[in-house]
Structure formats: C-alpha cells, structure tokens
C-alpha cells in the first residue's frame, strides 16, 4: 500500500479562519456541552475510548460486506462497553456505571461504525424494564440487562404492523394450569421484524404481545422472553430468529426477526408494574393504558437530541471543507476564493449550523418536561403525559425531517467529493433519515400532535386551563388579531405561534363541520389529516422558536462572554429569519406583512450571513467532534482534505492490484471477439 501523504501541518486556510474568529471555540464547546466540567469530562472520556481504536479499520468500513460490518460493529461496541466499565472502576470506584449517563452523549458518537447492535438495549430496553417491571422483577432480570450480563432488545414491530400497535398479532395466552404464558406468532405477518440487535446480538428480549386471559383480549402488554441459550447462543426451542438483511444504513445494528411457536414463560415474566395477571387468572388493568407506550416517549426525546448531533456533524464536515476548497474567482482578476465566500454557499451552510443549535436547545427543554412528567408518574399523576407525548412527537418529527434535508443540503454543498463514501456524508444521511421512520413514522406522529391540538383547542373554547406549551392557543382565541409585525425576535416567536394557532383553528373548523355532517370522529380525523399535520408541524416550530429565543435572551446570557453571546444572537437571528421566510405562506395567510417587511427580512438574512462568515469554522469547532467521530476525508480538524481523499483512494482495495480479475474473465474476451 502507498505511504500516507497526509501532512502533519494544518491547512493555512483553515488556520486563518481560526485566527480570525471573534470568540473562543472552547467557550462555545463548554456551553454546547453543558458547562466546563462536563466538557472536560466528555473530552477525557472520549480520548480514553478512542485511544487504541483501529482507526484504519474503521475507515475501511465502506469496503466491507454486511457480515464484516456486523462483526466490526459488535467488536467495537464490546470494546467501548469494556472501556467504559474500566474507566468507571478507575475514576469512580464503587459509583454508578458510566454508560447510563453517556448513552446519548455525543462522545459515544462514531465509536461503533455501522451502528451499535446494543444501541436499542441501552437506549430503550433498560429504560422500558425500569419503567415497566415491579422492583422484584427488575432485581431478577432487569439488572442483568443493565449490567450487560445478558443482552437484549425491544421487540415490538411486526412484519405486518409497526404503527398500529393495537393491531399487533403476537399472542400471549395465560395458562392457569401451569402458571405460564404461551407465546405465538401465528402468521408470517405476526413475526417480530426490525428490532435492533434482535438478529444475533440478543439472548433475551422484551416482546410486545396481545394478552389473552381466558381467551379474552386485554390489549398489548410487555413480556420478557429468553430467545437464545446463554452458553451456546443457540436459539431456544420454538424460537425462529435471524437478521432481516442489509439496509440503507445502520448496517451493523443487526435488526432482526423473531417467530415464536408455543414458547412458554413463567407468569412472572409479564412486566407487571402497571397491569397484572394474578395466578388465579384475575386481571388488574393499568391506571393509564398509555403507560405501556412510555418507553417510546423517552426514545423520541433521545432521537430529537441525536438528530441535532447528526446535523452538527454534517455541518462541521461541510463548513471545514468550504474553508479549504477554493474555486471560481468572484472578480475575474482575483484569485479563486474559499468556496465559503460565495454567498449562496453560506446560505447552504450557516442555516444548518443554526438549526442544529436550535434543536439541541429545544431538546434540552423537552428533557426538562420529561423529568417533571416522570416524577409525576412515579407519584401516580398523569396530567402532563399528553403534553409530553405531543411535544416529544413534535421535536422527533421536525428534527428528524429537518436534519435529513439539512444533511443532504450539506452533502450537496461539498460538490462531487460529498458523494464519496469517505466523506461520510452518505452514512450520516442514511442514519438521519432512519429517524423519520423509527420510533413512530413521522406523519403518524404529526397526527397524534394534531389530535392533542384539537383537544386543547376545544378545552380552551370552554375556558378550561391548558398545558403550558399550548397556552398560546387560548391567547389567540382571546385576541384573534395579530396586531403589528415588528420583526423583533419576540414578535417573530409570537407570529409563529399565531400561525400555528390559526392553522389549528382551521383544522378544528374542518373537523367540526365534518362531524356535524355526520362523519364519525375517526373518518372526520382522516379527512382532516392534511390540515392536522400542517398545524402540528407549526406547533413544533413555534416551540423551537421560543426555546431558542429564551436561551439567547434569557438569564443564561449573563453566564457567557459578550463575544459568545454575540455569536449566539447571530445564530438566533439567522434561524428566526430563515424559518420565517421558509414558512412565509403560512405567516402571510394570517399576518399582515408588507413588501417592505419582506425586503427587510431578506436584508437581515444577507446581513447575518455576512456577520457569521468569519466565525463559521470556529463555531463548528465548538461542536467539539473529534476526527474519529467525523470519520470524513473532507472534514478533519487539520483541513487537509485533498491529501485525505487521495490517501483513501490509494488504500482502496481495488487499487491494490493493477489489473482486475474481470479484465481477463470478461472485458478482454469480449473485445477480442469483436476484432
């Protein structure tokens, strides 16, 4: 293999950017990470985890088969888990395991190329068991998963049903004679299909199945089922299990299928914290049916956070590349500029940087509501659950779809080289887009938000109190005119809320008139689906507007330097202006904006791009990803993009032989036959 051509020096163009920045990237990084202590800890852990990684093997992932990627992903996941255990023993002896605090921390990003086959176990299963087991059950089998003595996954989706959980076909029939449940997947469509790590990386799993007692259905419940022998890892009798095949991305995650044929488990393996089946066959229902769905609420919060990270990764790669690539003189006699000097290029990069920041901040507010609601639930109070469900859906949907579009825009911003696997943009894209489907398909979740908005609108009409994040609906009912557009940040937040409320009102009107024409609630909701999803999307956007504005203009500003505050203000300005322009059709429908107001917005957009231009590289440096995490020939810290692209091509297995086999087997014989 050819020797590496990557210099040890930093590309002067990118160095110039860093020297000219108006603020400290380290201060940004500390703010982004949640404080200096946390940043220090994160960097320390990341360095430890990445210390002896075989980086070259990771880089070669694009040249590996499905099976090889799975093996590499498993090996890397176990290596990371082992190191985290060791680190915790060294630094925090006798303390808690590190992984629960780290599983959704960006330091974990990029450690397991191809996706973590134990990701669903960490992110969902442990949390589902904690929330759904009795304390005795958690001691008996939950802890074993938490300690990684055994491995498992969250098996809910089936070949025939993912969205409509009440339609799941897997059955768990109670057999009072043996005090057991008998589990079956009666048809091909009832096979569990998709759970991460189910294929070959789990020996236990949580199975969502329809509970039957005395042949009477009690709805979906959760069961803890052993699927493989703990010693040999062979499937147990009655279990048909394997990998569902290669996917667009997350290739190493080992998403699997599971068929169950008369699999018997003890009665005590139904997760009984909220609903119970007693030995005599009596059934005690849950105080709230939707508690079974709580693990999904939490995972939606994780996804909103994670997809903001994916967008930040793509923004880092594209921004650094745009600082070192030079092309096309702006004035004929001048040298070729850094492509970031083309204003249209800035318009591709900077809005996505601002969007990653916006979603990270909105997610932090969402986590706050999650913690409050979790505390309430443990005290038997469920009032804020609908609000949390709706908001977690809103951020999951808007962040996954915006990040997907944003990553693709950033890939295009890298020109041809963005299309190389080694840019890592393709991988980030397929990971981001998966989140539009998993944990609730986005349209389906928008409809859930729409349902909540309809209820809230109806409640407000009757004067009933509303949850804090929808109180603006009542305000708009009281004051149905917007007043003046002034274009201040607060005014823009109010405008987005106003548009969301007005869209909600329109959907409510359509729904009501359909109901009054005699349609059933369900049919009327289906026919009003488009308006409901539009209102739902705007509701989510209004929340992001307000949480970003609160962070930048609120009391936290006092904890930051003036220079960092100025950068955050520029990012907020860009975010609010570009989003208002993107949704202008909705704003104009309900709010009186003049042509001068629109021209002013366009001027503000162009002005703030210019203000952000000198700080762009420093901001993405502040996202604080290591080169290993970015895994990109275009986006490394040193900016040596061409040398890395060249190096990757030289190491391409195809270039290790001067003549490929197909020349002798196909090409040459064909050409000879044409002579």
Ligand X SMILES: Cc1cc2nc3c(=O)[nH]c(=O)nc-3n(C[C@H](O)[C@H](O)[C@H](O)COP(=O)(O)OP(=O)(O)OC[C@H]3O[C@@H](n4cnc5c(N)ncnc54)[C@H](O)[C@@H]3O)c2cc1C
CA distance 537 to 289: 26
User: Which window, 47-55, 77-85, 273-281, 501-509, contacts ligand FFI (CB under 6 A)?
Assistant: 77-85
- Within positions 424 to 443, which residues make up the interface with ligand FFI, using CB under 6 A? 438-440
Q: Does 170 bind ligand FFI (CB under 6 A)?
A: no
Instruction: Count how many residues are written for the chain.
Output: 675
Q: Does 447 bind ligand X (CB under 6 A)?
A: yes
User: Which window, 33-41, 192-200, 479-487, 501-509, contacts ligand X (CB under 6 A)?
Assistant: 192-200
Q: Could you give the 3-state DSSP secondary structure of residue 179?
A: coil
Q: Does 304 bind ligand X (CB under 6 A)?
A: no
Minimum CB distance to ligand X, residue 318 (Å)? 24
Q: Does 103 bind ligand FFI (CB under 6 A)?
A: yes
x/- mask, ligand FFI, residues 573-612, rule CB under 6 A, reads ----------------------------------------
Q: Which residues of 470-489 are buried (b: 16+ CB within 10 A; e: fewer)?
A: bebbbebeeeeebeebebeb
Q: Does 154 bind ligand X (CB under 6 A)?
A: yes
Q: Which does 223 bind (CB under 5 to 8 A by kind): ligand FFI, ligand X, none?
A: none
Q: Does 542 bind ligand FFI (CB under 6 A)?
A: no
Q: Which residues of 125-139 are buried (b: 16+ CB within 10 A; e: fewer)?
A: bbbbbbbbbeeebbe
Q: Does 437 bind ligand X (CB under 6 A)?
A: yes
- Tell me whether residue 441 or residue 519 sits nearer to ligand X (CB atom): 441
CA distance 281 to 270: 13
Catalytic residue among 180, 439, 573, 579, which? 439
At CA 72, angle to CA 67 and CA 78, rounded to 5? 125
Minimum CB distance to ligand X, residue 673 (Å)? 46
Minimum CB distance to ligand X, residue 539 (Å)? 18
x/- mask, ligand X, residues 370-409, rule CB under 6 A, reads ----------------------------------------
Minimum CB distance to ligand FFI, residue 211 (Å)? 15
Q: Does 397 bind ligand FFI (CB under 6 A)?
A: no
φ, ψ for residue 33, nearest 5 deg: -90, -10
185 in Cβ contact with 193 (< 8 Å): no
User: Which window, 369-377, 385-393, 438-446, 576-584, contacts ligand X (CB under 6 A)?
Assistant: 438-446
Minimum CB distance to ligand FFI, residue 321 (Å)? 25
Residue (of 585, 611, 609, 608) closest to 598 by Cα position: 585
User: Which window, 224-232, 271-279, 422-430, 433-441, contacts ligand X (CB under 6 A)?
Assistant: 433-441
CA distance 228 to 241: 9
Ramachandran assignment for 631, one of left (phi > 0), alpha (psi -120 to 50 degrees), beta (any other)? left
How many residues contact ligand X, by CB under 6 A?
22
Q: Does 533 bind ligand FFI (CB under 6 A)?
A: no
Per the annotation, the verdict on 146 as an active-site residue is no
Q: Which does 250 bind (CB under 5 to 8 A by kind): ligand FFI, ligand X, none?
A: ligand X
- Tell me whether residue 250 or residue 548 sits nearer to ligand X (CB atom): 250
Q: Are strands 180-184 and 216-226 parallel, antiparallel or unpaired?
A: unpaired
Q: Does 81 bind ligand FFI (CB under 6 A)?
A: yes
Unique residue bearing structure tokens 């990627």: 69
Member of 196, 252, 386, 540 binding ligand X (CB under 6 A): 196
The encoded tokens of residue 537 equal 């999307």
- Within positions 288 to 307, which residues make up the interface with ligand FFI, using CB under 6 A? 290, 293, 296-297, 299, 302-303, 306
Residue (of 330, 422, 447, 567) closest to 60 by Cα position: 422
Please indicate if the annotation marks 196 as binding a ligand: yes
Member of 147, 163, 582, 656 binding ligand FFI (CB under 6 A): 163
Q: Are strands 239-243 and 283-284 parallel, antiparallel or unpaired?
A: unpaired
The encoded tokens of residue 501 equal 């409320």
Q: Which does 103 bind (CB under 5 to 8 A by kind): ligand FFI, ligand X, none?
A: ligand FFI
Q: Does 262 bind ligand X (CB under 6 A)?
A: no
Positive or negative torsion for Cα 276, 282, 288, 294: positive
Please indicate if the annotation marks 607 as binding a ligand: no
- CA 189 to centroid of chain Cα atoms: 28
Q: Does 92 bind ligand FFI (CB under 6 A)?
A: no
Ramachandran assignment for 194, one of left (phi > 0), alpha (psi -120 to 50 degrees), beta (any other)? left
Using alpha carbons, list the distances in angstroms from residue 15 to 11, 84, 216, 666: 6, 34, 70, 50
Minimum CB distance to ligand X, residue 441 (Å)? 4
CA distance 266 to 282: 16
162 in Cβ contact with 123 (< 8 Å): no
Element (H or E) spanning 263, and its range?
strand 263-266
CA distance 327 to 317: 18
The beta strand positions in 585-674, using DSSP E, are: none
User: Which window, 162-170, 419-427, 590-598, 613-621, contacts ligand FFI (CB under 6 A)?
Assistant: 162-170
Residues at the site binding ligand X, with contacts judged by CB under 6 A: 120, 154-157, 161-163, 194-196, 250, 255, 434, 437-441, 443-444, 447
Residues at the site binding ligand FFI, with contacts judged by CB under 6 A: 80-81, 84, 99, 102-103, 108, 116, 119-120, 122-123, 154, 156-157, 162-163, 165-166, 196, 290, 293, 296-297, 299, 302-303, 306, 385-386, 389, 438-440, 444, 448, 451, 455
Binding positions for FAD are 157, 196
Active site residues: 439
């Amino acid at each position: 293999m050819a020797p590496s051509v990557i210099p040890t020096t930093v590309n002067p163009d990118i160095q110039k950017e860093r020297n000219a920045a108006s603020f400290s990237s380290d201060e940004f990084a500390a703010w982004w990470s949640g404080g200096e202590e946390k940043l220090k800890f994160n960097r320390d852990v990341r360095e430890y985890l990445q210390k002896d990684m075989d980086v070259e093997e990771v880089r070669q992932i694009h040249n590996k088969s499905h099976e090889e990627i799975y093996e590499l992903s498993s090996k890397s996941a176990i290596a990371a888990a082992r190191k985290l255990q060791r680190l915790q023993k060294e630094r925090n002896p006798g303390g808690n395991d590190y992984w629960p605090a780290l599983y959704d921390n960006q330091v974990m990003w990029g450690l397991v190329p191809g996706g973590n086959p134990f990701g669903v176990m960490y992110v969902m299963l442990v949390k589902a068991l904690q929330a759904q087991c009795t304390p005795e059950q958690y001691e008996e089998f939950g802890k074993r998963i938490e300690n990684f003595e055994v491995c498992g996954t969250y098996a809910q989706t089936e070949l025939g049903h993912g969205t409509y959980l009440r339609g799941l076909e897997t059955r768990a029939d109670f057999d009072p004679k043996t005090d057991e449940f008998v589990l079956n997947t009666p048809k091909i469509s009832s096979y569990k299909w998709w759970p991460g790590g189910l294929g070959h990386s789990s020996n236990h799993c949580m199975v969502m199945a329809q509970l039957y007692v005395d042949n009477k259905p009690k709805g979906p419940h959760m069961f803890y089922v052993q699927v493989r022998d703990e010693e040999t890892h062979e499937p147990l009798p009655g279990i048909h299990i394997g990998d569902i095949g290669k996917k667009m991305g997350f290739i190493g995650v080992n998403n699997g299928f599971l068929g169950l044929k008369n699999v018997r488990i003890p009665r005590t393996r139904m997760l009984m914290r909220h609903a119970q089946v007693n030995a005599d066959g009596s059934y005690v229902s849950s105080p709230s049916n939707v508690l079974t769905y709580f693990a999904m609420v939490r995972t939606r919060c994780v996804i909103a956070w994670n997809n903001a990270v994916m967008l930040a990764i793509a923004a880092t790669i594209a921004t650094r590349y745009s600082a070192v690539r030079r092309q096309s003189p702006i004035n004929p006699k001048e040298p070729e500029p850094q492509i970031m000097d083309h204003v249209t290029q800035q318009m591709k990069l900077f809005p996505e940087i601002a969007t990653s920041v916006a979603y990270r901040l909105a997610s932090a507010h969402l986590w706050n509501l999650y913690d409050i609601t979790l505390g309430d639930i443990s005290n038997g109070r469920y009032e804020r659950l609908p609000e949390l469900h709706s908001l977690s859906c809103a951020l999951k949907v808007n962040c996954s779809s915006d990040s997907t579009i944003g990553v693709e825009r950033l890939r295009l911003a890298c020109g041809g080289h963005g299309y190389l696997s080694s840019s890592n943009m393709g991988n980030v894209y397929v990971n981001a887009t998966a989140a539009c489907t998993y944990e609730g398909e986005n349209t389906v979740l928008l409809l859930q938000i729409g349902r909540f908005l309809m209820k809230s609108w109806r409640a407000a009409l009757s004067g009933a109190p509303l949850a804090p994040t929808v109180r603006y609906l009542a305000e708009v009912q009281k004051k149905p005119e917007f007043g003046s557009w002034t274009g201040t940040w607060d005014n823009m937040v109010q405008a987005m809320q106003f548009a969301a409320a007005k869209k909600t009102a329109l959907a409510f009107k359509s729904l009501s008139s359909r109901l009054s024409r005699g349609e059933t609630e369900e049919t009327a909701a289906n026919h009003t689906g488009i308006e409901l999803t539009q209102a739902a999307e705007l509701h989510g956007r209004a929340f992001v507007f307000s949480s970003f504005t609160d962070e930048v203009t609120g009391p936290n500003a006092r904890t930051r330097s003036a220079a960092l505050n100025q950068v955050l203000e520029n990012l907020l300005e860009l975010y609010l202006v570009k989003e208002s322009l993107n949704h202008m059709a909705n704003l104009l429908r309900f709010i009186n904006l003049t042509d001068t107001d629109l021209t002013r917005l366009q001027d503000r957009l162009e002005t703030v791009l210019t203000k952000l231009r000198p700080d762009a590289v420093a901001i993405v440096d502040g996202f604080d990803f290591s080169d290993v995490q970015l895994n990109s020939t275009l986006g490394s810290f040193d900016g040596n993009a061409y040398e890395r692209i060249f190096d990757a091509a030289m190491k391409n297995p195809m270039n290790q032989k001067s003549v490929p086999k197909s020349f002798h087997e196909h090409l040459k014989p064909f050409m000879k036959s044409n002579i």
